[in-house]
């Protein structure tokens, strides 16, 4: 049996088996070392030692990768089977390696490509490959394409990224990443447009929770008006109910049920920020005015007496607790 390593490089079975045994042993040793490091306190490991270890691992993988390539002639594009030997440790690939990959091989290795931290040049190459795989016009991408691309969609040029039709799932994925506040704001505005929100102050608890670190793109006045915008609708309904009740007594009972349901919905809506708070607690990119408004919402929903709240519930609020009034 023959296995391709590149377009014109082939290892016979005996040589390939030796190579795979060596690679497996090396990767297992690397995994064992990583597990041992994780059991130690992060404070016990100097940052420069961690950086040196990562560089040493990357350089070793790069040397192994280079040795599998033909010495001369046209090396051809990489194939996914070869890259999978490196178990996602692919940061040693340069932009031209990525750009020269076949579309099918790139698509087959999407999961592996999502693991490394890429530099700007590598990301630019990845962005071009995504468009080659899923289509040059991102507005026409199939619904599952952004989720398959995962965090790699950050590699797309901004205009292409904003042409994607955003769903809660896509927003939740992007919400796990660090972004500039203005970039987050543009994505959230497009999300509101795609789901039919008049503006972001109408976000439900689920929608707000899905934003994660993207919440750093919310304006303070939007945070401040979130509950008010949701409660505003039932007030209009109540006025209509009173008018109808005067005209037709029979309708009063039916409408009364509607009023109760709407008022209950308003009470639920008043807890939007509180319900989503646990998902926003690690958004340490939130700034003073945003934290202040979120803190007000927590107090509005929970009051200032938190004695009955379990400690783990308060801990979930993370950075949002910092701007609450001191609980009694």
Residues 143 and 236 in one domain: no
For residue 35, name the pLDDT band (cuts at 50, 70, 90): low
**Residue 194 lies inside a defined structural domain of this protein:** no
109, 225: one domain: no
Q: Is the pLDDT of residue 50 over 70?
A: no
Q: What is the largest distance, in Å, between two alpha-carbon atoms of the chain?
A: 92
- For residue 98, the model assigns a pLDDT of 93
pLDDT in tens, 211-239: 999 999 999 999 988 863 333 333 334 34
| Same domain, residue pair 137 and 22 | yes
In a domain, 208, yes or no: no
- In a shared domain, residues 225 and 88: no
pLDDT: which is higher, 56 or 113: 113
131 and 247 together in one domain: no
Rg over CA atoms, the chain: 27
- State whether 153 and 292 are in the same domain: no
pLDDT band at 23 (very low <50, low <70, confident <90, very high): low
Tell me, yes or no, whether 129 and 15 share the same domain: yes
Q: Are residues 8 and 156 in the same domain?
A: yes
Q: Kindly state whether residue 132 falls inside one of the protein's structural domains.
A: yes
pLDDT at 70: 47
pLDDT greater than 60 at residue 286: yes
* Residue 176 covered by a domain: no
The reply to whether 185 falls in a domain is no
Q: Which domain holds residue 23?
A: 3-41+57-162
The answer as to whether 301 is a domain residue is yes
Question: Rounded to 5 degrees, what are φ and ψ at 5?
Answer: -110, -30
User: In terms of domains, do 25 and 112 share one?
Assistant: yes
Question: CB-side exposure of 165: number of CA atoms within 13 Å?
Answer: 10
Match 């308003």 to its residue by tokens: 266
255 and 110 in a common domain: no
Identify the pLDDT of residue 32.
62
Query: Is 175 inside a domain boundary?
Result: no
**Residue 296 — pLDDT band, cuts 50, 70, 90?**
confident
- Do 255 and 107 share a structural domain? no
What pLDDT digit, counting tens, does each position of 179-205 carry?
Answer: 888 899 999 999 999 999 999 999 988
Cα gap 179→47, rounded to integer Å: 24
pLDDT at 260 over 80: no
Domain assignment of residue 122, yes or no: yes
> What is the 3 state secondary structure string of the chain?
CCEEEECCEEECHHHHHHHHHHHHHHHHHHHHHHHHHHHCCHHHCCHHHHHHHHHHHHHHHHHHHHHCCCCCCCCCCECHHHHHCCCCCCCCCCHHHHHCCCHHHHHHCHHHHCCCCCCHHHHHHHHHHHHHHHCCCHHHCCCCHHHHHHHHHHHCCHHHHHCCCCCHHHHHHHCCCCCCHHHHHHHHHHHHHHHCCCCHHHCCHHHHHHHHHHHHHCCHHHHHHHHHHHHHHHHHHHHHHHHHHHHCHHHHHHHHHHHHHHHHHHHHHCCHHHHHHHHHCCCCCCCHHHHHHHHHHHHHHHCCCCCCCCHHHHHHCHHHHHHCCCCC
The model's pTM is: 0.65
In the chain, how many domains are there? Answer: 2
Instruction: Please report the pLDDT score of residue 229 as a whole number.
Output: 36
141 pLDDT more than 90:
yes
Same domain for 35 and 141, yes or no, is yes
Confidence of residue 81 (pLDDT cuts 50, 70, 90): confident
């Amino acid at each position: 049996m023959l296995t391709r390593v590149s377009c014109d490089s082939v290892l016979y079975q005996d040589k390939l088996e030796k190579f795979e045994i060596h690679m497996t042993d090396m990767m297992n040793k690397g995994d064992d070392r990583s597990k041992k490091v994780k059991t130690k306190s992060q404070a016990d490991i100097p940052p420069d030692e961690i950086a040196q270890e990562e560089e040493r691992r990357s350089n070793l993988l790069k040397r192994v990768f280079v040795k599998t390539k033909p010495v001369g002639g046209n090396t051809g594009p990489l194939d996914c089977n070869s890259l999978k030997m490196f178990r996602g440790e692919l940061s040693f690939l340069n932009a031209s390696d990525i750009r020269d990959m076949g579309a099918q091989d790139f698509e087959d290795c999407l999961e592996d490509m999502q693991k490394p931290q890429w530099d700007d040049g590598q990301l630019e190459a990845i962005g071009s490959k995504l468009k080659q795989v899923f289509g040059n016009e991102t507005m026409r991408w199939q619904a599952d394409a952004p989720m398959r691309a995962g965090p790699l969609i950050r590699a797309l040029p901004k205009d292409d990224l904003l042409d994607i039709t955003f769903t809660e799932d896509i927003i939740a994925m992007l919400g796990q990443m660090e972004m500039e506040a203005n970039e987050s704001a543009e994505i959230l505005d497009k999300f509101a447009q795609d789901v039919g929100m008049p503006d972001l102050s109408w976000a439900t608890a689920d929608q707000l929770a899905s934003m994660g670190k993207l919440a750093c793109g919310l304006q303070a006045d939007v945070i401040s008006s979130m509950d008010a915008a949701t409660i505003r609708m039932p007030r209009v309904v109540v006025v209509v109910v009173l008018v109808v009740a005067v005209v037709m007594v029979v309708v009063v009972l039916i409408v009364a049920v509607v009023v109760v349901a709407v008022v209950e919905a308003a009470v639920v809506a008043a807890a939007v920020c509180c319900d989503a708070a646990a998902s926003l607690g690690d958004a340490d990119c939130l700034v003073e005015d945003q934290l202040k408004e979120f803190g007000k919402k927590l107090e509005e929903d929970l009051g200032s007496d938190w004695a009955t709240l379990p400690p783990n519930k308060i801990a979930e609020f993370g950075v949002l607790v910092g701007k609450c009034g001191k609980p009694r």
